[in-house]
Amino acid sequence: MRILIADDDPVGIEVNKRLIYSYVNFNSINNAYIKTVSNGYEAVDSFRESLIAREPFDLIMLDRGMPCFNGEYALNKIRQLEQRSNYRVKPCHIIIVTSRSPSGDILTISNHCDSYLLKPISVPAIYKILANQTE
């Protein structure tokens, strides 16, 4: 399982990594790889590089309020790269992570993301998403 975490908060990155690694270790999942970046531009660039290397990410966690490209912009760019790629067969599961409470604006991104999590992320919520990805 290849995972990309994009968050401008080092504490948020560390919390997400620990949650994912605890799930991976508990479920004896081999070959888990987590890459972290601190802004949306780096997220899009990392995704592009993963497609070129033919090692695409299975799951991406995008913080909604990052510098350079925010999470919504990065989400749209990643989906465009997927559509143009000759390699990718299955779309990447993308989670938008935010500290903002959900409102009507979630409808603007819900067509492109697969999940929407509020900070602080609940363990059952992220474990449920990871379970669906590892089935």
Given a cut of 70, the residues of the chain with pLDDT beneath it are: 88-89, 100-111
User: What CATH number is associated with residue 80?
Assistant: 3.40.50.2300
User: pLDDT value at position 90?
Assistant: 80
Judge contact between 8 and 43, C-beta under 8 A.
Answer: no
- Residues 76, 95: Cα–Cα separation, whole Å: 12
Considering its fold, how many domains does the chain have in total? 1
User: pLDDT value at position 114?
Assistant: 87
CA triplet 124, 129, 27: central angle to 5 degrees?
75
User: pLDDT value at position 7?
Assistant: 96
User: pLDDT value at position 88?
Assistant: 62
Domain that holds residue 42: 2-134
User: pLDDT value at position 3?
Assistant: 97
User: pLDDT value at position 101?
Assistant: 62
User: pLDDT value at position 85?
Assistant: 85
